[in-house]
Structure 1
Amino acid sequence: MLLAVLIANSEGNILVERFNGVPAEERLHWRSFLVKLGADNLRGVKNEELLVANHKSVYIVYTVLGDVSIFVVGKDEYDELAYPPMGAWPISRNGSVAETIFVITSALKDVCGKPPTERLFLDKYGKICLCLDEIVWKGLLENTDKDRIKRLIRLKPPTEF
């Protein structure tokens, strides 16, 4: 299960968060832990360079894209033991946390047209939230195909069945 997707700015302010199966009383802990993890480790990291951490039997993959930091927390079938070799991104239904963050960063670049600044991210906030909802649904990696995600976030009724 994907427990959390969190996107923060460079100062550590949370821009978007999605929790799945995390009790409300634990969410504050995860927010502060992830922001601190990013502050400690993301300085000087190149865009889309993946970092991996393990905490309380869950895996965390995080990266920087433009001015935002992206964190994905997974457990059980979403563990980093399924991480594909670099250059080979076999997208499957049951993927790793790294696959999930790859799809999210790809969708963010498509929506924003480039690695986002904080202002551009906030300007495209609605579409970004729709993308996240189409990518991760109830803790599972739902959609990975860029073209399908683009069609689903158009907010028009589907014409093909």
Structure 2
Amino acid sequence: MMFWAVIYVVFLARFNGVPAEERLHWRSFLVKLGAENLKGAKNEELLVACHKSVYIVYTVLGDVSIYVVGKDEYDELALSEVIFVITSAVKDVCGKPPTERVFLDKYGKICLCLDEIVWKGYLENTDKERIKRLIRLKPPVDF
């Protein structure tokens, strides 16, 4: 079975007031969605879904499944841009499409990148070079 990192947390769980039951529902929904659709998917092949008026764009990168979730102005087109930046950042940090071990070894730096890409549920940075510069200013031990 594939290791999965649910990066949807960046868009969904950072909103204050999201009940734990709702987060649990989304997590189980995304796991089921990925199990059904990511088998045999190519690296960085984008898949799109919609659930409860929320858009989901997801892909597989190495051994990691990546999901981004949004609504309103974060439609599938905007989310595809976000997931492209995220996959690019993960590949840069890991040096290649990650295995489970490499992803977990680089988890702190990946979180720093995610924090620069999305801030409080809003898209902040999409420029790869700017993200690299900004994460150099933060020590990974802050997590």
What is the TM-score with the length of structure 2 in the denominator? 0.87
**Alignment partner of 1:118 is 2:119:** no
> In the alignment, what sits opposite 1:50?
46
Structure 1 position 10 matched with structure 2 position 2: yes
Secondary structure of 2:44's aligned partner: coil
Indicate the residue corresponding to 1:103 in structure 2: 85
C-alpha distance in structure 2 between counterparts of 1:44 and 1:29, whole Å: 25
Matched, 1:143 2:139: no
Identity in percent: 81
Alpha-carbon distance, 1:156 to partner? 5.5
Q: What SS class does the counterpart of residue 36 from structure 1 fall into?
A: helix
Amino acid at match of 1:107: A
- RMSD between aligned residues: 1.8
Contact 2:6–2:27 under 8 Å retained in 1: no
2:6 and 2:65 in contact (8 A); partners too: no
Give the equivalent residue in structure 1 for 2:114. Answer: 132
Distance 2:115 2:40 in 1: 30
Cα distance in 2 for partners of 1:49, 1:67 equals 14
- Which structure carries more helix by proportion? 2
Q: TM-score, length-normalised on structure 1? A: 0.78
Query: Aligned equivalents of 1:11 and 1:102: distance in 2?
Result: 20
Give the Å deviation of 1:20: 2.8
Number of equivalent positions: 134
Show CA shifts across 1:85-137 (max 9, x none): xxxxxxxxxxx111110100000011011000000001101100100111011
Which residues of structure 2 form unaligned runs of 5+?
none
Kindly provide the amino acid, as one letter, of the partner of residue 31 in structure 1. Answer: R
Distance in 1 (CA, whole Å) between partners of 2:138 and 2:6 is 26
Moved over 2 A (4+): 14-18, 20-25
Deviation at 1:155, TM superposition (A): 2.9
In the alignment, the residues of structure 2 paired with residue 11 and residue 150 of structure 1 have an alpha-carbon distance, to the nearest angstrom, of 26
Alpha-carbon distance in structure 1 between the residues aligned to 2:138 and 2:56: 35
Structure with more strand by fraction: 1
1:20 paired with 2:2, answer no
